[in-house]
Structure 1
Amino acid sequence: MRALLAPAALASVLLVGSPDAEAASLGLHRVRVTSEAAYGAVGGQAKPVRLTLDPRLQREAERLLARSGAPEAAIVASDVRTGRILVWASRGNRDFVAEPYAPSASLFKIVTAAALLDGGHANEGTEACWSGGEHDITEADLDRRGGSACTPFGEALGKSINMVFARMAKRHLDPDDLRRMASALGFAGDVPIDVPAHAGRVEIPADPFGMARAAAGFWNGKLSPLGALFAMQTIANGGERVRLVLKDPGVPVARVVERRALDPRVARTLNRMLQVTTKRGTCVKAFRHADGTRALPGMAVAAKTGTLVGKKPARMFSWFASFAPADKPEIAVAVMLANDITWRTKANIVGRELLEAYFAGSRDERRGR
């Protein structure tokens, strides 16, 4: 097994003039964490600045990434209420928090669900039926009427049912609907933040079959963990786009609402649909410990997972994006692991562990420890 380098050490091997040199001018590099604060070089600047990061949580995130063994990985977390960045940790030869390196995979279903709800094409009770499409989507799957399985639309996001989103997008949406919603949520374009970061990329084919596949999360562009975080923070804030802050202003971070991305009713519906993920969807097992006890008992967690295998290089991309508590959000977390085809852990486990660390620390602070 090869030695695991710390994120800061990996960032420091980036050479000027290498293919990744452009990435060195973006994001955060050479993070130094003390007991009191965190410092890092932002963008192309050489001089470190004080950051908004939580030192305890930042160290835990770096530990989780190192333990994951993923060749490229990132964790980013924010205080939902103010947009203060609490964690910004990366593993690999550049800052993968700020770079749209991985395909968004099934996280893109959030965009499709939001567009369907916003356009009045579906509600939580809308019945959706399908056949096939578990691992891929064919034109025959889309053209087939009815289906052997049915579910309310409110269950489809948390269970990540490909055919529900592909069929409903083909029937009700066009590529521009998806592009507009992707931009509003942070999947495409710039994320409002006080440091340079790459813009997300969304590619929606014009043909109905290609658009349907893209709507379900099959190869529709690249997403950064920062973009995934911003989407979850926006939903947690009832649809308001709250500006993210990484550079410590020297005073408590003030909440700045850039604009509204979603109608509050749509945001509330998405919140409920995302809670299905951890209650009876794709994260049920991840939110159970080895002894069978539930992680974060008594707390509703909104989340979405995504998994997709890429070929060049061979990677198993794993996503987890979440916020908690779902009924009164405090923290949003996004995790991306670009694993080898053989892997140690997935993003949903890493994300759950970071949430547990955050709330354990919050309890200690309330007890005066």
Structure 2
Amino acid sequence: MRSLLAPVALASVLLLGSPDAHAAPRGLHRIRVTDGAVYGAVGGKEKPVRLTLDPRLQQKAERLLARSDAPEAAIVASDVRTGRILVWASRGGRDYVAEPHAPSASLFKIVTAAALLEGGYANASTETCYSGGFSSIKPADLESRGSACTTFGEALGKSINVVFAKMAKKHLDAGDLRRMAGTLGFTGELPIDVPASSGRVDIPDDPFGMARAAAGFWNGKLSPLGALFAMQTIANGGERVRLVLKDPGVPVARVVERRALDPRVARTLNRMLQVTTKRGTCVKAFRHADGTRALPGMAVAAKTGTLVGKKPARMFSWFTSFAPADKPEIAVAVMLANDLTWRTKANIVGRELLEAYFAGGRDEPHAR
């Protein structure tokens, strides 16, 4: 068992207060996997229906969650091109795929990055100099030029909190972040054919509070489904593609709800998110124990987040991704709510699911 004192990316470690009480769960119940199909009861309904899930990947995801030993956890994956849900797996007392149980933490930097790019305030090569602000941010951190400098593209992949706080304070307001959060699926109703709870974003109006929230500090809660939708939207060049979980009996058709991001912004975000697995917060997770590279020759776009909750005591970790980055096929989101001693983190679990998908033997959708 690893302890909380094991190395983590300091730029992603935040603190969380006590969680809110939750209403009755939504989403899936009594999932049953057969050789050729997956069935489950949707919402409060008792009768199971056939789902779009890939039986092989679903079983793999369930094994990964069981092996993680996290008290609460979830994995969800989709076919980027069609929005077909491939995996919907949860561990704990509720369906944590569709429930905003964990704070978004550093995943919220995706929202901030999109707002800065969409507003024309930055590009991937925009340079910011900084000091401090790794595990906390003070007002002085936002005024100091600092001796360390980095580009905006590197700052996202390396999850440098103070860079996002400084840039947000200079160029954005709370309304900008709230609007982009809704556009990417962090809040608001998600386009999917089953009930799912909306995420919550709390952005203070004062400049310092807004800047901290922009970096991922104390800014609401997100469901894995919402995280998946944000990454799927970026992978689709900025188009919001409807998610489908209930098997329609024919191959799932791609339905574009609307455009969320300018294609150029989506492409820039794609390149910035690749830094995460190449030299950012996820680089070690994409190396096996023997030092070999996971998914060799494949570019993977991803974002991580790590934080600690007090009541109950939890170490939350996030991983959300799509691959291959140059021609996306699959998007994945993983949330683990570990005890303060832990076996694994979300980035390892997510990488292993990606490896299972690209290992071959992919399910042919709706084969009868």
Instruction: Tell me the TM-score range normalised by the shorter chain.
Output: over 0.9
Q: How far 1:152 sits from its partner (Å)?
A: 1.1
Q: CA offsets per residue over residues 217-238 of structure 1, 9 Å max, x none?
A: 0110000000000000000000
1: CA distance between counterparts of 2:255 and 2:363? 29
Amino acid at match of 1:54: D
Q: CA offsets per residue over residues 60-111 of structure 1, 9 Å max, x none?
A: 0000000000000000000000000000000000000000000000000000
2:192–2:245: 8 Å Cα contact kept in structure 1? yes
1:155–1:273: 8 Å Cα contact kept in structure 2? yes
Q: Where does residue 42 of structure 2 map in the other structure? A: 42
Q: Where does residue 22 of structure 1 map in the other structure? A: 24
1: CA distance between counterparts of 2:213 and 2:93? 29
1: CA distance between counterparts of 2:133 and 2:255? 42
Q: How far 1:139 sits from its partner (Å)?
A: 1.0
What SS does the aligned partner of 2:282 have?
coil
Q: 5 Å matches for 1:293-312? A: 293-312=292-311
Q: Where does residue 33 of structure 2 map in the other structure? A: 33
2: CA distance between counterparts of 1:21 and 1:155? 39
Q: How far 1:361 sits from its partner (Å)?
A: 2.3
Q: Where does residue 325 of structure 1 map in the other structure? A: 324
- Runs (4 or more) in structure 1 with deviation over 6 Å come to none
What SS does the aligned partner of 2:157 have?
coil
Q: Where does residue 109 of structure 1 map in the other structure? A: 109
2: CA distance between counterparts of 1:64 and 1:191? 26
Q: CA offsets per residue over residues 322-357 of structure 1, 9 Å max, x none?
A: 000000000000000000111110000000000000
2:54–2:363: 8 Å Cα contact kept in structure 1? no
Q: CA offsets per residue over residues 107-150 of structure 1, 9 Å max, x none?
A: 00000000000000001111111100111111111122x11100
Q: 5 Å matches for 1:36-115? A: 36-115=36-115
1: CA distance between counterparts of 2:102 and 2:81? 27
Q: Structure 2-normalised TM-score?
A: 0.92
2: CA distance between counterparts of 1:285 and 1:96? 27
2: CA distance between counterparts of 1:362 and 1:179? 41
1: CA distance between counterparts of 2:146 and 2:315? 30
Q: 5 Å matches for 1:142-153? A: 142-144=142-144, 146-153=145-152
Q: How far 1:268 sits from its partner (Å)?
A: 0.1
Q: How far 1:362 sits from its partner (Å)?
A: 4.7
**Matched residues, number:** 345
What SS does the aligned partner of 1:62 have?
helix
Q: Where does residue 120 of structure 2 map in the other structure? A: 120
2:55–2:363: 8 Å Cα contact kept in structure 1? no
What SS does the aligned partner of 1:53 have?
coil
> Relative contact order (alpha carbons < 8 A, sep ≥ 6): 1 or 2 greater?
2
Q: Where does residue 8 of structure 1 map in the other structure? A: none
1:204–1:211: 8 Å Cα contact kept in structure 2? yes
Q: CA offsets per residue over residues 172-231 of structure 1, 9 Å max, x none?
A: 000000000000000011111000000011010011111011000011000000000000
What SS does the aligned partner of 1:22 have?
coil
Q: 5 Å matches for 1:169-318? A: 169-318=168-317
1: CA distance between counterparts of 2:255 and 2:101? 28
1: CA distance between counterparts of 2:203 and 2:23? 29
Amino acid at match of 1:183: G
2: CA distance between counterparts of 1:329 and 1:160? 23
2:303–2:319: 8 Å Cα contact kept in structure 1? yes
1:74–1:337: 8 Å Cα contact kept in structure 2? yes
What SS does the aligned partner of 2:341 have?
coil
2: CA distance between counterparts of 1:337 and 1:130? 31
Q: Where does residue 131 of structure 2 map in the other structure? A: 131
What SS does the aligned partner of 1:355 have?
helix
What SS does the aligned partner of 2:24 have?
helix
Cα distance change of structure 1 residues 364 and 192 upon mapping to structure 2, 3 Å threshold: closer
Q: Which runs of 5+ in 2 are unaligned?
A: 2-20
Q: Where does residue 358 of structure 1 map in the other structure? A: 357
1:20–1:94: 8 Å Cα contact kept in structure 2? no
Q: Where does residue 9 of structure 1 map in the other structure? A: none
Q: How far 1:22 sits from its partner (Å)?
A: 1.8
What SS does the aligned partner of 1:150 have?
strand
Q: How far 1:166 sits from its partner (Å)?
A: 0.3
Q: Which runs of 5+ in 1 are unaligned?
A: 2-18
2: CA distance between counterparts of 1:273 and 1:308? 22
What SS does the aligned partner of 1:312 have?
coil
What SS does the aligned partner of 2:302 have?
strand
1: CA distance between counterparts of 2:181 and 2:90? 24
